[in-house]
Chains A and B, each alone.
Chain A
Amino acid sequence: MKKGDSIAFFVLIFLIILLPVLSGSTYTLTVGIFSGINALVAIGLCILMGYAGQVSLGQAGFYGIGAYVSSVLSLHIGLPIVISTIFAMIVAAIAAVILSVPALRLKGHYLAVATLGFGEIIYIILNEWGPGGPSGFGDIPHFSLLGYTVDSTTGYFYLIWGLVAAVMFFSINLIHSRTGRALRAIHESELACNAMGLNVVALKIKVFILSAVYASLAGSLYAHYVTFISPSSFSLFYSILVLMMVIVGGITNLWGAIIGAVVITVLPELLRRFEELDVLVYGLILTLSLMFFKKGLVPILIEKIKKLRGFAVAKH
């Protein structure tokens, strides 16, 4: 890991441990839990879009697969949650392979539309064939591991953010590896990648699988946390929301995915005081932030820090 990543990682762990201690309020932790769930999906999309250059408007589909497959398997068949979550990831990975058949032939806007179509197909399937149809179903068991059931808000907070930290650790290592470089190279020039002997097709399929598995994990956690799910949580709106997180945070930086997820999740909560006007203010803030922080929050922050350092060096 590079120095900046190590510091950021340390700060992340520190905040995860400290937040429940400092703020015991269930409300704060609940918002934190949802931020964490969204961050998992956003990290996957960030690798897919920001690094490998493959657009996706279908992440809600994978998120929905994670939630439904794990819920149904644990509720109706009685599989342990860990197994049902892993099983859901496998289903999501298979869905990603199927999606990559058209995705390998498409780029840019066309790919966006194809993935959007994929998300809609999953949404329709959940509506038509999912248990409870459009109104969903409940009584989904809580997350449990080795006989220990997580049912407190603090427990979920640690579980989910612990997984965010683990996924982040894996992802940062990946990005700074041979494979990560290859993904970025595909983004830049597929022609040159072919001439270097990179297997572009395999790499693209794998990165789609990776983003799908992250989203599926998030979906399973979501389902077992709220214990009630319906298709409306997995609509196109969610895909767009995740896209927004990644862009607001800064698509070229993995940390941007986490920051973006927290900002986009927390912002509506902070805007509650505006009552009926909250959606309006929300939209306004997003529009303005995209106008003035086009690169995203994290890349701009890094630029600022570099500048400050430059000043400090110049003064000496």
Chain B
Amino acid sequence: MLSIKEISKSFGGLTALRQISFDVKKGDIKALIGPNGAGKTTLLNIVSGIYQPDNGEVIFLGEKIVHLAPTKIARKGISRTFQHVELFGNMTVIENIMVGRHAKTKSGFFSSGFKLPFVMKEEREIQRKSEEILEYINLGHRKDEYASNLPIGEQRILEIGRALATEPRLVLLDEPAAGLNMRETRNLGEIIKKIREELKITIVLVEHDMDLVMRISDSVTVLNFGEVIADGTPLEVQKNPEVIVAYLGDEEDIPRGYNAHT
């Protein structure tokens, strides 16, 4: 479904990504993990077209998408959420979802202004579909509240809902569990699993919450200092010595007398 091929990216003299390659299989939940600054978000920004890589290709459904603008990539079927929630805060919850329907609908300035019959029909369709999505992500009761008034957990789920409204083939989730408590995280995990199983949408998940990652993902890619250090099932990755070193440090780094189990 998605192939990352030898992607490199540096900012000034700082290398953020070096020759990154991996594949995402159709219908998988692929987790992208690694310590802070490993380049995970940079990679998502390259896939969604916000950054241009210095080298390499991103192939989505057999098509090179690296040089496309973010809008075009979104219209190809890649939607995303953001590490720092980017909701339309002064719009209501339902309106946020309705904006997500934009690319799938077409009434313009003139037809909207004159309220032509097809516009009314389309508007009802947008409304109906958006309500359906809200029910699907269990936010139906928040419909008319301003998005900025929701607790962070619901904001992150609303962002996922807005991404779903674009009818994507692939959704990129950038730290959806950041700032969420345990109950909210569990709920989030259920929703992500439901999206994959019922809607057959492929998911790339950047996440620090290892519990969530190990529970829901099919395959995990580990980045460290801009390089892939491991790629495999959650179990394989957990046992990989390089990953353990990246996360916990070398045994020699651990001060004398320190016991990992206390």
Chain A residues near B (Cβ < 8 Å)? 170-171, 173-174, 177-182, 184-185, 187-189, 191-200, 206, 210
Bound Cα distance A174, B71 (Å): 22
Which single member of A187, A200, A210 contacts B71 (CB below 8 Å)? Answer: A200
Find out whether the CB atom of B86 lies under 8 angstroms from the CB atom of A189: yes
Within 8 A of A (CB), among B85-114: 86-91, 95, 98-103, 105, 107-109, 112-114
Closest approach, in angstroms, between the C-beta of B95 and any C-beta of chain A?
6
**B126 — nearest CB in chain A belongs to which residue?**
A178
Question: Contact between A185 and B91 (Cβ–Cβ < 8 Å)?
Answer: yes
> Are the C-beta atoms of A188 and B74 separated by less than 8 Å?
no
Q: In the bound complex, do residue B99 and residue A171 qualify as a contact, i.e. CB atoms below 8 Å apart? A: no
| B79: Cβ under 8 A from any A Cβ | yes
Are B74's CB and A192's CB within 8 A? no
Residue of A nearest to B162 (CB): A196
Q: Which residues of A contact B63 (CB under 8 A)?
A: none
Chain B interface residue number, banded: 35 or more
Could you tell me the distance between the alpha carbons of A194 and B122 in the complex, rounded to whole angstroms?
Answer: 22
In the complex the two chains form, is B74's CB within 8 Å of A196's CB? Answer: yes
B128 within 8 A of A: no
Given contacts A184-B95, A197-B102, 11 further A-B contacts (CB under 8 A): A177-B115, A178-B112, A185-B91, A191-B82, A192-B82, A192-B162, A194-B49, A195-B80, A196-B103, A197-B71, A198-B103
A182 contacts which chain B residues (CB < 8 A)? 99, 102
Measured CB to CB, the closest approach of chain B to A295, in angstroms, equals 13
A191 to B81, CA, bound (A): 10
Q: Which residues of B contact A195 (CB under 8 A)?
A: 48, 70, 74, 79-80, 82, 86, 163
Contact A174 to B109, CB < 8 A, known contacts A195-B79, A195-B80, A197-B71: yes
Q: Knowing A177-B119, A191-B82 touch, does A185 contact B109 (C-beta < 8 A)?
A: no
Contact A178 B105 (CB under 8 A): yes
Residues of A within 8 A of B90 (CB): 184, 187-188
Give the residue of A170, A173, A174, A185 whose beta carbon is less than 8 angstroms from that of B99: A185
Interface pair B102/A189, CB less than 8 Å apart: no
29 residue pairs bridging A and B, Cβ less than 8 Å apart: A170-B113, A173-B115, A174-B109, A174-B112, A174-B113, A177-B112, A178-B101, A179-B107, A179-B108, A179-B109, A181-B95, A182-B99, A184-B88, A184-B95, A185-B91, A185-B102, A192-B82, A192-B86, A192-B87, A192-B88, A193-B99, A195-B82, A196-B99, A196-B162, A197-B74, A197-B75, A197-B103, A197-B166, A198-B102
Judging by beta carbons under 8 Å apart, are B99 and A198 in contact?
yes
